[in-house]
Amino acid sequence: MTRSLHSTDRLPASARAGHWNAVIAEAYFPLDLTFRDAARFEGQLEHSNVGDISLSRLCTEAVQYERHRHHISSATEEQYLITIPRKSPVDFRQLGREVRCDPGGFILERGDEPYRFSYANANDLCVLKIAKPVLATKLRNPDRYCALVFNGREGIGSLFTTMAQQIQRHASSDPNSDAVLSRHLVELLALALDRTSEVEQGAGSSVRDAHRRRAENVILRDLSNPDLSPEIIADAVGISKRYLHELFAEVNCTVSQFVREERLKAARDLLQMPNPGQMSDIAYRFGFSDQAQFSRLFKAKFGQTPSGYRAQITAACND
């Protein structure tokens, strides 16, 4: 176990904010920090690497941490933070959920999505950092557990929080021991998360469903835009492109498939109307690059060309 200690002690007031921003970026990942009083801010961070994870004890006065898109764009690896507050509550907002975690609980934060994390009073936090692939080997789709509050006072949750704090306090110099300890801690974390109550899981699912519906509404309003893309849709909804793709994957679809199918349905509905216009105009109206592409995709979807479909509708109306 390698251990490092950082503190604002003996630093001039003018250097504290910049120093602490660098400390946080090194221990976790880049964040924007907002201090109640930067010149008088005091903080201490004790950080250790234990096998595949890192553990830290973070003791500071009130502060707010924000992860923005420009931080995420340069990230090379997806990470989670698991935070256990020990002195005062923390407020956390991510993916449309806003929760408060009191001492005795813990929360999971995605490093690859924007978030805001804050506490209004001095706090003492135990923080575990773990790469997504490490946790994913023990738990299916860990993302669904983010921005939920877990009970760290009872059962498996209590075992996890107790072990995390014990390992953080007591350094080891044996790499083999570190590997065993980190593996057991990750297994306890996975068990604690997997036993989330149905109410919590339902709340998380409802948020994801709401985001997907908002994305679908954006698509339906902008079907005629030939440049409509996952980036544009994600920006309109206020989520990342990665998260957008995850939302549609949950219903066995891709963003592009949904856009294409809704365009084809809209074009089919127009073809049922009197005097729908030229096929080329319909193709361009619904964002297809040309009439040939429109015709090919329409036939693949509905079993006949747009012209054939229109002729069938006209014949039925004349009968």
Report the alpha-carbon distance of residue 267 to residue 190 in Å, rounded.
Answer: 47
47 and 89 co-located in one domain = yes
- Identify any residues that bridge with 91 across adjacent strands, giving them in sequence order: 100, 118
Mark whether 171 and 278 lie in a shared domain.
no
Is 94 found in the same domain as 227? no
CA–CA distance, 129 with 56 (Å, rounded to integer): 8
Co-location of 152 and 248 in the same domain: no
Separation in Å, CA 195 to CA 68, 150, 163, 199, 231: 30, 9, 18, 11, 35
Same structural domain for residues 177 and 234?
no
CA dist 60 and 17 (Å) reads 12
CB atoms within 10 A of CB 194: 13
Number of domains in the chain: 2
CATH classification of the domain holding 148: 2.60.120.10
Of 150, 177, 196, which one is at a domain's C-terminal end? 196
Residues with Cβ within 8 Å of 87's Cβ and at least 6 positions away in sequence, in order, are 103, 121, 122, 123, 124
CATH of the domain at 300: 1.10.10.60
Residue 29 DSSP class = -
Is the same domain home to 192 and 207? no
Cα separation values, 239 from 49, 95, 259, Å: 32, 7, 18
How do the pLDDT tens digits run along the chain, 319 residues long?
568 899 999 899 889 999 999 999 999 999 999 998 888 899 999 999 999 999 999 999 999 999 998 899 877 789 999 999 999 999 999 988 889 999 999 999 999 999 999 999 999 999 999 999 999 999 888 888 888 899 999 889 999 999 999 998 876 667 778 888 999 999 999 999 887 644 345 555 677 888 888 999 899 999 988 889 999 999 999 888 888 998 898 877 899 999 999 999 899 988 988 888 899 999 988 888 889 999 999 999 889 999 998 888 888 777 6
- Cross-strand bridge partners of residue 101: 90
- Do 216 and 273 belong to one domain? yes
CA-based end-to-end distance of the chain: 83
pLDDT of residue 134: 94
Query: Long-range CB contacts (< 8 A, 24+ apart) of 293-300?
Result: 294/267, 297/260, 297/264, 298/264, 298/267, 298/268
Are both 127 and 229 inside the same structural domain? no
Task: Give the per-residue pLDDT at 289.
Answer: 83
Last residue of a domain, one of 163, 196, 229: 196
Residues 113 and 186 in one domain: yes
Which residue among 196, 217, 237 closes a domain?
A: 196
Residues 311 and 256 in one domain: yes
Same domain, 126 and 273: no
Supply the DSSP symbol for 110: E
Nearest-angstrom CA–CA distance, 64 and 117: 6
pLDDT at 114: 92
φ/ψ (deg, to 5) at 3: -130, 140
Q: 165 and 42 in one domain? A: yes
In this predicted model, what pLDDT tens digit does every residue of 101-122 receive, in sequence order? 999 999 999 999 999 999 999 9
Yes or no: say if 63 and 35 are a contact pair by the CB < 8 Å rule: yes
> CA 121, CA 116: separation in Å to the nearest integer?
16
Domain hosting residue 23, numbered range: 2-196
